[in-house]
């Protein structure tokens, strides 16, 4: 995802001289082409992310289109006050890109894990929260975010994510879309869990369960029209995300359900409410959190009283 981000940003910057990039001392080689073409529009702010956020807010107030980029927890939780007061309070057009979100940097420990960022940022007024699923979605959402205006958070993985789309999808921030039509239950995914969600649907298919898959790439604002459609059609809906069960996609949907008096059976799959002291690969921590297609399928089958895997 990060390579697609760097490439698309360079293309967009060639069309709009107001676009500037601020980095928290990472991605130096990643942005070589950007720096070569636009040396006066790249700012390495060092390991000073709070300051970087305030600088970006000031740039936006001067008419520029700043984008901040660094590892997710350092670009969100470390500078939450600056995001809240400098960017969102003034409703400034700053795009915050968190790279390596969720468990992408699993082996580097708790300082690099980011399973709370959606919860924090979606609660701040004026903030838009997006989670592209693959490189193609990164390109489209970045372009949309620049044109949208106002604060936007783009939550991306690191590298090596499976490619879902064959070309850039026609998506719009705030509008989810259907990946696959089904008739028995609905799986709603966000971000880098879409591929695992598709794998889950394939397992369920072997049990004669036809899963409908929705990609909710925007968590704030939620696509309430699509949710209304889904919950009116299916007796079981499940959300799947590489984020804490507290405050993420599943929580957002549950809040919507309460507000609209929806009683459909709803399952949430995400990370546990704990710090992860056992380190390993991203898949290792997903497995620890029962966040893989096998475990998700087991829970769904148990809920539907089907034979266990």
Provide the pLDDT for residue 61: 98
Instruction: In whole angstroms, give the CA distance from residue 176 to residue 170.
Output: 11
- In the chain, what are the domains? 2-155 (3.40.50.970), 177-303 (3.40.50.920)
- Are 80 and 61 in contact by the 8 Å Cβ rule? The answer is no
State the pLDDT at residue 309: 47
Distance CA 280, CA 289 (A): 13
Least confident of 22-36, 72-86, 141-155, 175-189: 22-36
d(CA 153, CA 262): 29
- Write the pLDDT tens digit of every residue in 196-234: 999 999 999 999 999 999 999 999 999 999 999 999 999
**Using 50, 70 and 90 to split pLDDT, how confident is the model at 27?**
confident
Rounded distance between C-alpha atoms, residue 173 and residue 61, angstroms: 23
* % residues pLDDT > 70 (the chain): 99
Say what the pTM is: 0.96
The pLDDT of residue 307: 46
Mean residue pLDDT across the chain: 96
For 124-145, what is the mean pLDDT?
97
pLDDT number for residue 306: 61
Q: Mean pLDDT over residues 269-296, rounded?
A: 96
Is there a contact between 67 and 38 (Cβ–Cβ < 8 Å)?
no
Average pLDDT over residues 100-123: 96
**Exposed / middle / buried, residue 44 (Cβ in 10 Å: 0-12, 13-18, 19+):** middle
């Amino acid at each position: 995802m990060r390579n697609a981000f760097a490439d698309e940003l360079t293309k967009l910057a060639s069309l709009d001289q107001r676009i500037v990039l601020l980095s928290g001392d990472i991605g130096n080689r990643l942005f070589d082409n950007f720096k070569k073409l636009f040396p006066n529009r790249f700012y390495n702010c060092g390991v000073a992310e709070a300051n970087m956020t305030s600088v970006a807010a000031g740039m936006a107030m001067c008419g520029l289109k700043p984008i901040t980029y660094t590892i997710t927890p350092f670009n969100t939780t470390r500078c939450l006050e600056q995001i809240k007061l400098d960017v969102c309070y003034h409703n400034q057009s700053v795009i915050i890109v968190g790279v390596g979100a969720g468990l992408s940097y699993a082996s580097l420990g708790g300082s690099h894990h980011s399973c709370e960022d959606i919860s924090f940022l979606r609660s701040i007024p004026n903030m838009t929260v997006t989670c592209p699923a693959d490189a193609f979605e990164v390109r489209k959402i970045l372009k949309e975010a620049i044109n949208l205006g106002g604060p936007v958070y783009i939550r991306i993985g690191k590298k090596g994510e499976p490619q879902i789309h064959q070309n850039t999808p026609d998506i719009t921030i705030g509008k989810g879309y259907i990946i696959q039509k089904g008739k028995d239950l609905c799986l709603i995914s966000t971000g880098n869990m879409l591929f695992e969600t598709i794998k889950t649907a394939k397992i369920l298919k072997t049990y004669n369960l036809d899963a409908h898959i929705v990609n909710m790439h925007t968590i704030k604002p939620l696509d309430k029209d699509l949710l209304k459609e889904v919950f009116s059609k299916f007796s079981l809906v499940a959300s799947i995300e590489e984020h804490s069960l507290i405050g993420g996609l599943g929580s957002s949907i549950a809040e919507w359900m309460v507000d609209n008096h929806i009683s459909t059976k709803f399952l949430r799959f995400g990370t546990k409410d704990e710090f992860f002291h056992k380190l390993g690969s991203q898949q290792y921590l997903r497995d620890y959190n029962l966040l893989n297609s096998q475990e998700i399928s087991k829970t769904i089958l148990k809920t539907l009283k089907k034979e266990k895997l």
